[in-house]
Amino acid sequence: MFAFNGMAQTKLTASEQTEFKTKVENTAKSTQTIVSDFTQTKHLSVLDNVISSEGKLVYKAPNLVKWEYVKPYQNIAIFKDDQLLVNNEGKKDKIDLSSNKIFKSLNTLIVNSIKGDMFDETQFDLAYFKFEEGYLVTFVPKDKRMKKFIASFELKFSKSDAEVKEVKLIEPNNDYTLITFANRKINTPVSENAFIN
């Protein structure tokens, strides 16, 4: 028995793992678009208060992702065609992901975590748990370069449909960012124009 944020949880058996992964992969395969509100909180050891922001996530298969922050600042980050397009309160920037392996890995991680399609045991050491409201999977990167940025991350999935409800990115110094999704709409029409910066 383990405790995660005070929740009682137990490790999944091998057969429960297989069943859970199949459920998640089926959800991911049938997901063409996601539109969801999110709350992001950053917990820094040097600050007493958490840094909180809110926004909207838009995803369109196979790999278009838009994070639009609306509070307290307006920022947009769009992952599109091996590029990261950033609009920071009107100041636009473009980062080429194809030449940056870490950013490219992070983008793949983001896309796959949104879809819930990411149980790659060649890249991560994985541990599977269940708790009252659903499932928790912890991922520890095997790549040394990635470990410099992310010590591990955790995904919480809902019990009923195995959708990602929460993503927690833990840095090597134990600071972490928690992203919680709400009002999630699956497979609603999303225009390509949503990904123009």
**What pLDDT does 2 receive?**
43
- Give the C-alpha separation, 30 to 175, whole Å: 34
**What pLDDT does 116 receive?**
67
Are 58 and 196 spatial neighbours (Cβ–Cβ below 8 Å)?
no
pLDDT (average), residues 169-176: 92
Window from 4-18, 128-142, 155-169 with minimum mean pLDDT: 4-18
Fold topology of 8-184: outer membrane lipoprotein receptor (LolB), chain A (2.50.20)
Q: Which residue intervals of 4-58 are DSSP H helices? A: 14-29
pLDDT at residue 155 tops 70: yes
**What pLDDT does 97 receive?**
80
pLDDT (average), residues 153-170: 89
**What pLDDT does 170 receive?**
93
Domain limits, the chain? 8-184
pLDDT digits (tens, 9 = 90+) for 21-70: 888 888 888 889 999 999 999 999 888 888 999 999 999 988 899 999 99
Per-chain mean pLDDT for the chain: 87
Residue 116 region by backbone torsions, left for phi larger than 0, else alpha for psi between -120 and 50, else beta: left
